[in-house]
Structure 1
Amino acid sequence: MSFPYHLPLLLDGATETHCLAAGMPHGVCTEQWILEHPEVLSQLQHAFVAAGSQAVLAPTFGANRARLELYGLGEHTVQFNQKLVSLTRDTVGTNALVGGTLSPTGILISDEDDQWDGDVVFQKWLTIYREQISILRECGVDFLFLDSMTGLPEARAAMLAAKQSHLPVLCCLTADQTGHTLSGSLFLPSLITLQAMGADAVGLSCSIPEDMVDLLEEARMFATVPLIAKADAGLSEADEEDRLAPEEFAAQFSPILRAGARVVGGCCGTTPEHIAELSRFLRELPPVKTRVGADDFVATREDEAFFLGDDILLSDPIPCDYGLADALIDIEDEQVNVVKVQVRNSEEARQLAMDAQMSRLPISILSDDPDALDEALMLYHGRALVDSDSEMDERLLRRIAERYGAIVY
């Protein structure tokens, strides 16, 4: 899969920082405030394009129904997205690409074993993202940008919804220096999972440049798509003197670019001046070759990557019942490196989703039921294997596996 735009691609910078400086009160709905003060956004976006931004993100970050409902504005979901994209398109014209931005919904999976609702929450995520993505697609955005995702499970839901639009999809997670996201996912297995699902670029957002370098250097070894770095210059509410100056911001980007990031831009605290400085760094940047096939035999769960070779040793099939958690723990004592789990129906797919985290080994799913296989892969928050001995049409099996980025073995 080739990236649809010329690289390097320079994004824009922070919107909320500028709005706060222009008088937006804290705690209000940013999207509503922008629509009430459209000249503030237009001025900012004009400045970003003049600074060198080749792609501008429409400020639809918080315009999904779940987030708008926090302000009692859920019924304005369609209207807000339409107006924000239209305002952005009218401002930049043909001088820059326009991306539709999506954010975490704020809806979380319960971490109580007796209250596990992961399947219900996942369907809520899908519904929310499908609605917003459908609106953004009808508005004519050039690509979708999944921004500041706080964990792999919700990022997977957003990816599944986004790929149905047939638009290019760029995805950023927010992680600390160790690679951990707020929900406990790790960046490397998340990258491998999302690129296998069809993301056109994957990377990091919402941390300062120097905190991204090691993570991107590690990711480069396994990235089959361009890497994104959308870095902070400081928190939105930080005083001016506490933010990275444009020259310092751009200088800190130098090792990020050496690490292979080729889709770059600014997050909190970044201004057109930051983007202008960054633009100067990109002019003589050499291309980076992605490593085709680098992740062919890398399975994942949200907090671990499993690097498999040609010597895959599958366990005997484990039934997916109420004893699954204990069986997954006990299997570690056997001479195998992949656990084969048999899934026969929807109930067993849900059981696997609840207990999969108990395994310290990658999981291969054996299923003769297409619907059960589809649900099991949908609810498995990582990159699973699919057993080719599953008794179903091979083309159907591979089509289901491809949807979720699974490895057929």
Structure 2
Amino acid sequence: MEQSVREYMKEKVLLGDGAMATYLYQQGIPVQICYEELNLTEPSVIETVHRDYLRAGAKMIETNTYGANRDRLKRYGLENKVVKMNREAVKIARQAAGKDAYVFGTIGSILAGRMMEYDPEEYLDLYEEQATALLYGGVDGILLETFLDVHELKLAVQAVRGLTDLPLFAQFSLLDVGQTRDAYPLSEAFLEVAEQVDGVGLNCRLGPVEILRCLEKTPIPAELQLSVFPNAGRLGIDDGHYKYKSHPDYFAKTAELLIKQGVNLIGGCCGTTPEHISEMRRVVEQYRPVKRINPKPVKVVEESPQPVIKLPKRSRPTVVEKVATQRTIICEFDTPRDLDVQDFLLGARRLHEAGIDAITMADNALATTRMSNLALGALLKTKWGIDPLLHVACRDRNLLGQQSHLMGLHALGIDQILVITGDPTRIGDLPGASSIYDVTSFELIRMVKQLNQGTSFSGKPLKQRAQFVVGTAFNPHVRKIEKAVERLEKKIEMGADFVMTQPIYDTAGIQLLYEATQHLSVPIFVGIMPLTSYRNALFLHNEVPGIKIADHVLAQMEQTTEPAAARRLGVEITKEVLDAAMETFLGIYLITPFSYWKMSLDLTSYIREQDRKQNVAHDFK
């Protein structure tokens, strides 16, 4: 183009291109691959996309580099191709555009919707590396797009503006109309980057009308150009394929409304095609840039205070508060694998009456389908006032489901949880099910504590703070317990309030646990699970790593073949380990084997009786 970008935009509305990734998907290229790698492996495919948009009327095309940064490319083992990939992308776009269109280097958000925790200096380096390669390739400007958070976009602007005086546009992507993910009103978000950019705008996630609603309510500095690249409506799935609804005709109609809002750079994002751009061209050609008139400030009307909704409040201390001064027993009692809950409810009630401080329920332990622990936890709490302590596994829910689940627990007043990784589904009764694992147990602990600070997983402020007390699991049956404790210390740094251990079957193991963990700042609940039969003892001794059953115990269990008698013997043998645990720990974690709740009932009675006899001191760990 003979004119510079800035000169062109004084006289005309600049029409950009449409989507790259979703257009490639429509051409049959699978989503599992790295689309930016096509710059190196299939450059003709990318050039064809550029030419399709140029024929449709685009006067500005974007390089295929949205995710061509070191952090994202590392997922594909391509982190050493950053410079080459970006330079080749510019070369391909230049070959397609010739002198008929501008080429903007595209840089996308590195966070890309992930949690807002990162090293700013590292991100500056990543953005500078990508921008340097694009500038060396010879772009006419830089487009920063799809940023959810003000602070990250400011870093990207800082990195790019330090390298060039070329036109620079900075675009946010909004989760909610009119507000960034980190809770900036859009007008303030634009002001945060205004001094260093030529233009600000919006792209992705929202369609034309939602973007229009944002602009109608947002004052924008007069010296800034305004850009928008809306999605083709909301994403849907039709017959197993991803599709966007908005028709090209609709884009033409809304383009006129957007231009009248002062938009001077307009194109399309996800779901848009050359047909969308072609329809928009008919409108763009009719307009010169329109001077934007900002909306008048809205007068704030004080509203009468709304009635406070009282959520369920804790009537008794948490297990962490209790164990600071007195013997505290958590009992694990798994929910049924059937629809019949009568025995479970009976057992839970009897355990509660015997003196259990909290009943903990696994979250589909061993990846085996069981009744929802949330449902039964709510029943126990409302029906009998029993404190539930629910396991929350990383395996079964994505981040959307995890936050929704935790918000539901908060509403029910269930605030004690144990965060665990969860066994992979391939070992369970539905091996074809997917294991999610969006986050590790470390990350989920931190994110739960984020809810306690009044901030959602996405970083948005919440109107209330949660009050979760978060436990973490610990397996002492490892070759190097020091390494396991180091891992545990990191979980405590993330916010874990207490620890529940895997079952220990000998007094030496109790002593080892005490010596390894006595320096920790949070209480330990020692896992105790009675043997139920000789076969059960053999399995634990020979097949479960780290667990050893003493020879004399194996011999005793072998001599007892009648099932009920074997369980009684298992309880008696367990009392020796319990005695050792109670000498050094106030927290006991009884694990009910195979739903034999009467075994846990007997052990609970034993613990309470021993404490009464010995008048337990309160200077334990």
**Same-fold status (TM-score > 0.5):** yes
State the alpha-carbon separation in 1 of the partners of residues 155 and 7 from structure 2.
Answer: 23
Residues 1:212 and 2:241 aligned together: no
Alpha-carbon shift at residue 38 of structure 1 (Å): 2.2
Alpha-carbon shift at residue 33 of structure 1 (Å): 3.3
**Structure 1 regions of 5+ residues with no counterpart?**
112-116, 295-409
1:97-108 pair list within 5 angstroms: 97-106=102-111
Residues 1:44 and 2:49 aligned together: yes
The answer to whether the 8 A contact 2:149-2:181 is kept is yes
Q: Spell out, residue by residue over 1:254-311, the C-alpha distance to the aligned partner (whole angstroms, 9 max, x if none).
A: 32222111110000111111001001111221433368xx9xxxxxxxxxxxxxxxxx
- Partner amino acid for 1:173? F
The answer to whether the 8 A contact 2:38-2:45 is kept is no
Report the CA distance shift for 1:12/1:238 in structure 2 as closer, same or farther (over 3 A).
farther
Q: Partner of 1:175: helix, strand, or coil?
A: coil
Residues 1:87 and 2:92 aligned together: yes
The answer to whether the 8 A contact 2:38-2:46 is kept is no
Q: Partner of 2:62: helix, strand, or coil?
A: strand
The answer to whether the 8 A contact 1:232-1:266 is kept is yes
Alpha-carbon shift at residue 107 of structure 1 (Å): 7.9
TM-score (norm 2): 0.43
Alpha-carbon shift at residue 140 of structure 1 (Å): 0.5
Q: Spell out, residue by residue over 1:11-36, the C-alpha distance to the aligned partner (whole angstroms, 9 max, x if none).
A: 00001112112222122211113532
1:182-197 pair list within 5 angstroms: 182-196=181-195
Q: Partner of 2:90: helix, strand, or coil?
A: helix
Aligned to 2:129: 131
Q: Spell out, residue by residue over 1:19-65, the C-alpha distance to the aligned partner (whole angstroms, 9 max, x if none).
A: 11222212221111353222222222112111111110011111011
Aligned to 1:269: 271
**Please, what is the CA RMSD of the aligned residues?**
2.6
Residues 1:287 and 2:289 aligned together: yes
Q: Partner of 1:14: helix, strand, or coil?
A: coil
Report the CA distance shift for 1:100/1:79 in structure 2 as closer, same or farther (over 3 A).
same
Q: Partner of 1:69: helix, strand, or coil?
A: helix
The answer to whether the 8 A contact 1:217-1:260 is kept is no
Q: Partner of 1:202: helix, strand, or coil?
A: strand
Report the CA distance shift for 1:258/1:125 in structure 2 as closer, same or farther (over 3 A).
same
**Structure 2 regions of 5+ residues with no counterpart?**
295-621
Alpha-carbon shift at residue 180 of structure 1 (Å): 2.4
Aligned to 1:147: 145
Residues 1:200 and 2:202 aligned together: no
1:4-403 pair list within 5 angstroms: 4-6=7-9, 7-106=12-111, 121-164=119-162, 165-196=164-195, 198-206=196-204, 207-234=206-233, 238-239=237-238, 242-289=244-291
Q: Spell out, residue by residue over 1:161-201, the C-alpha distance to the aligned partner (whole angstroms, 9 max, x if none).
A: 111222210111001452223343332111112112x2101
State the alpha-carbon separation in 1 of the partners of residues 112 and 60 from structure 2.
Answer: 29
Report the CA distance shift for 1:286/1:94 in structure 2 as closer, same or farther (over 3 A).
closer
State the alpha-carbon separation in 2 of the partners of residues 14 and 193 from structure 1.
Answer: 27
Alpha-carbon shift at residue 222 of structure 1 (Å): 3.4
Report the CA distance shift for 1:23/1:287 in structure 2 as closer, same or farther (over 3 A).
closer
State the alpha-carbon separation in 2 of the partners of residues 80 and 185 from structure 1.
Answer: 34
State the alpha-carbon separation in 2 of the partners of residues 109 and 16 from structure 1.
Answer: 20
Q: Partner of 2:31: helix, strand, or coil?
A: coil
Number of residue pairs matched? 285
- Partner amino acid for 1:14? A
- Partner amino acid for 2:165? H
- Partner amino acid for 2:160? A
Report the CA distance shift for 1:267/1:107 in structure 2 as closer, same or farther (over 3 A).
closer
The answer to whether the 8 A contact 2:261-2:292 is kept is no
The answer to whether the 8 A contact 2:112-2:147 is kept is no
Alpha-carbon shift at residue 234 of structure 1 (Å): 3.9
- Partner amino acid for 2:142? L
Q: Please, which moves more after superposition, 102-111 or 172-181? A: 102-111
State the alpha-carbon separation in 1 of the partners of residues 76 and 179 from structure 2.
Answer: 30
Q: Indicate the percent of aligned positions where both proteins have the same amino acid.
A: 30
